[in-house]
């Protein structure tokens, strides 16, 4: 049993270690065991690229998600990758201010929120 009273092990298959999602002309690839929500904001409008809908199932025997995440963002003139290493799982949210895509344009913010719902400890029955 885990400290939440749920089972430590599950018979569910592990979730994919890499996921790619697209919205508003962007494609983002990332480790969904690290990302709960991902969006791009410009001119006060936030556009979601990904929002966790199902529990992320860890591989058998693993009690924590991987300590690292590589986020790749492509589209709308962007082509970048960001590597995060957080072995103690201290990161809650990362915001990256991107340069304007055009002369005189407004900057964009790439917003990545950590804290996905994980199994274990919160495994569906």
pLDDT tens by residue, the chain, 125 residues? 444 444 456 789 999 999 999 999 999 999 999 999 999 999 999 999 999 999 999 999 899 999 999 999 999 999 999 999 999 999 999 999 999 988 998 999 999 999 999 999 989 87
CA–CA distance, 114 with 50 (Å, rounded to integer): 12
What tens digit of pLDDT does each residue of 104-125 get? Answer: 989 999 999 999 999 999 898 7
CA–CA distance, 46 with 48 (Å, rounded to integer): 6
What predicted TM-score, i.e. pTM, was given to this entire model?
0.86
Tokens (6 digits) for 77: 């003139």
CA–CA distance, 57 with 73 (Å, rounded to integer): 24
What pLDDT score was predicted for residue 26? 97
What pLDDT score was predicted for residue 1? 40
What pLDDT score was predicted for residue 122? 87
């Amino acid at each position: 049993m885990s400290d939440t009273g749920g089972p430590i092990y599950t018979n569910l298959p592990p979730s994919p270690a890499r996921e790619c999602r697209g919205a508003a002309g962007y494609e983002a690839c990332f480790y969904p065991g690290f990302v709960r929500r991902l969006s791009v904001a410009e001119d006060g409008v936030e556009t979601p690229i990904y929002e966790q809908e199902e529990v992320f199932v860890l591989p058998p025997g693993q009690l924590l998600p991987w300590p690292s995440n590589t986020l790749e963002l492509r589209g709308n003139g962007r082509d970048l990758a960001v590597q995060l290493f957080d072995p103690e799982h201290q990161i809650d949210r990362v915001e990256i201010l991107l340069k304007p895509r055009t002369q005189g344009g407004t900057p964009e913010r790439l917003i990545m929120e950590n804290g996905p719902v994980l199994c274990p400890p919160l495994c569906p029955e």
